[in-house]
Amino acid sequence: MTEAPYPRPASGWTVVILLLVAYIVAVMDRQILSLLVQPIRHDLGITDTQVSLLHGFAFVITFTVLGVFFGRVADRGNRRNLIVIGMIVWCFATVACGLARNFTELFAARMAVGVGEAALSPAAYSLIADYFAPEKRGRAMGVYTMATFMGSGVAMIAGALAILSTMGASEVAVPLLGMMPSWKAAFIVVGLPGLLVAAALAFIREPVRRERAKELAGSSTLSFARDNFRILSVMILGLACNALASFSLITWTPTVFIRLFEWPASSIGVAYGLILAGPGALGILFAGWLADRMAKVGGPGPLKLASYALAGVIPLSLWVGLAISPGISIAALIGCSFLLAMPTGLAPLAIYQITPNEHRGQLIAAYLLAATLAGLGLGPTIVAGTKDLLFGDDLKIGLALALVTTLAAIAGFALLSLASRMTAPAASK
C-alpha cells in the first residue's frame, strides 16, 4: 500500500507558524518571571531561593509529571485538540499568577501553568514530523523550536518596557480588576492573548501518521526505550546539561546586570531580550538548516553538531558572570545564546532519527522532562544555592552563574560526543 503524499508545503508552514506563535506565548508565560524577581521579592517578602522555586520547581513538578502522559496521548490521540486544551489551561493559569496574593498562591498558579504547557511540544513535534519529509524537517522543527529563545526575548522586552520601568513601585489600572501592582498586571497582559492563538489552532488538520514501526505486535514505548536505553539516556542527559546552562543564564543574567553593573531592569530586559530573540533564535534556525544540509551530503549528524556547539560555549560562558565590564559580558552572552540554541533545535531531530512514529511523543516528552528538570527545575536553584552556600553574598551571583553554566557546558559536550558515537550505528540501520 502506497503511503499518502506529504501535505502541501503551504499547509505545513501555516501549521508551523501557528505552533511557533503558540510556543512563543508558552515561553513568555513561563519566563516573564525572570524580570519580575525584584518587585516580587519586595511585595511578597521572599528570598532568591523561593523565587527560584517559583521559576523552576513549581512549574516543573507538573510539567514533568504530566509530560509523558500527554506524550502518550499525542502518540495515539488527536494532537490538535490536545494542544488547544492545554493552551487554554496555561493561559488562564498565567492570569491566575497575576491574581496571587502570597507565595503559596503564586506557587499553585505556576503549577497550573506547567499542567497546560506539558501538552504542547510532544504533540507539536509529532505534527510537524508528519507534515514534512525527513530532508525538510530540520528547518521546520527549527522554526518551531526557536520560540524557546524568541519567547524569552519577547517576555523580557515586554516586561522591561511595560512593567519594570517602574520597578514594581507603581500600580496600573486593569479593566474589571481595578488597580494592582505592575508586576501582577504583567502576568495578565501576557496570559490573555494566547486564547486567540488557541482559537486559531482549533482549525488546523491532523495529518496522516508516518514512519511507523515495522513490527507493531508487542511494540511499546517502554520496550523500545529499554532496547535503546544506553543511547537514549546518554543523549537525553547531554541535552539536559545544555538546558541547565541555557535556563540558568535566562533566569539569572538580568539579576547579574542589576546587581553587579547597576543597570536598570528595563535596560537589561531590552538588551537581553533582543539577544534571545535575535542571535538565540538565529542559532536554532542555523542548526536546522545545517542539519538538513548535512543530511543531504552525509555530513555530521545532529548530535555531533550539538556537541560542537557546546564546545564553543565552554570558553564563553565564564565571561557572562565574571566580565569586568558590561560590554564584555554582553558579547559573551551573544555568543552563548547563539551556541546554546543549536542543541535545543537539534534535539528533536536527534531523537526522531532513531524513534518510530508511535513512540515519538513519549520520547520527546521524556527529553522535555529531563531538560525541564535540569533547566527550569535545577538550574535556577543550583545557581541561587551556589551563591547562598558557597559565597553568601548577593554580589557573587555572577560568579555562581559562571561556575554552574561552564560546568554544565563541559558535561553536555562530553555526553553528546559520546552519544554521537553510540547513535551513528543505530541511525544507519
pLDDT digits (tens, 9 = 90+) for 142-191: 888 888 788 778 777 776 665 544 444 467 666 777 677 777 888 888 88
Please tell me the predicted confidence (pLDDT) of residue 1.
45
* Domain-located, residue 3: no
In this predicted structure, which of 32-36, 163-167, 208-212, 310-314 has the lowest mean pLDDT? 163-167
| Number of domains making up the chain | 1
pLDDT digits over 317-339, tens only?
Answer: 989 888 788 999 999 999 999 99
User: Cell 497546560 appears where?
Assistant: 116
State the pLDDT at residue 403.
94
Residue 4 falls inside a structural domain: no
| pLDDT in the model for residue 240 | 95
Inter-residue contact 144 to 20 (CB < 8 Å):
yes
Q: In this structure, is residue 54 part of a structural domain?
A: yes
Instruction: Enter the C-alpha cell of residue 55.
Output: 521559576
- With a CB cutoff of 8 Å and minimum separation 6, the contacts of 256 are 320, 321, 329, 397, 398, 401
First CA to last CA distance, the chain:
23
Helix 281-297 vs helix 147-158: crossing angle, to nearest 10 = 170
C-alpha cell at 28: 513568555
Residues 64, 118: Cα–Cα separation, whole Å: 7
Q: Is residue 251's pLDDT more than 70?
A: yes
Higher pLDDT pick, 141 / 357: 141
In a domain, 1, yes or no: no
pLDDT at residue 35 is higher than 90: no
- Residue 159: the pLDDT is 63
- The length of the chain is 429
Q: How confident is the model at residue 418 (pLDDT cuts 50, 70, 90)?
A: very high
Q: What is the pLDDT, as a whole number, of residue 166?
A: 46
Give 185 or 237, the one with higher predicted confidence: 237
Average pLDDT over the chain, rounded to an integer? 84
Which one-letter amino acid corresponds to residue 128? I
What are the distances in angstroms from CA 257 to CA 187, 335, 400, 404?
A: 23, 17, 14, 17
Does some domain include residue 239?
Answer: yes
Local confidence band at 213 (pLDDT 50, 70, 90 cut-offs): low
The closest alpha carbon to 148, from 335, 286, 290, 345, belongs to 345
- Is 324 inside any structural domain? yes
> C-alpha cell of 56?
523552576
Average pLDDT of the segment spanning 116-134: 88
Q: How far is CA 76 from the centre of its chain?
A: 24
pLDDT-derived band at 250, boundaries 50, 70, 90: confident
Residue 211 inside a domain? The answer is no
pLDDT at 173: 65
- What is d(CA 320, CA 333) in angstroms, rounded to the nearest whole number? 6
Cell of 299: 555530513
**Residue range(s) defining the domain that contains residue 114:** 9-206+221-427
Model confidence at 410, pLDDT cuts 50, 70, 90, reads very high
Question: Cβ(236)–Cβ(366) under 8 Å?
Answer: yes
Residue 212 lies in a domain: no
Structure confidence at residue 260 as a pLDDT band (50, 70, 90): confident
Place of cell 518551531: 144
Task: For residue 372, give the amino acid letter.
Answer: T
Percent of the chain with pLDDT over 70: 91
Count CB-CB contacts under 10 A for residue 158: 20
Phi, psi of 181 (to 5 degrees): -55, 145
Distance from C-alpha of 157 to C-alpha of 174, rounded to nearest angstrom: 20
More confident site: 210 or 336 = 336
**pLDDT 10s digits, 44-60:** 888 777 887 887 778 88
Please give the pLDDT value at position 217: 42
153/275 Cα distance (integer angstroms): 7
The answer to whether residue 216 scores a pLDDT higher than 50 is no
Q: For residue 168, what is its C-alpha cell?
A: 514594581
pLDDT at 221: 77
- In this model, does residue 212 exceed pLDDT 70? no
* Per-residue pLDDT reduced to its tens digit, 70-110: 888 888 889 999 999 999 999 999 999 988 888 999 999 99
Please give the model's pTM, rounded to 2 decimal places. 0.76
Kindly tell me if the per-residue pLDDT of 241 is higher than 90. Answer: yes
Examine the pLDDT at 286 and tell me if it is beyond 80. yes
| CATH number of the domain residue 228 falls in | 1.20.1250.20
Number of neighbouring beta carbons within 10 Å of residue 228: 18
Q: What confidence score (pLDDT) does residue 427 get?
A: 46
Confidence of residue 428 (pLDDT cuts 50, 70, 90): very low
Which is higher by pLDDT, 395 or 198? 198
Q: How far apart are CA 219 and CA 10, in angstroms?
A: 34
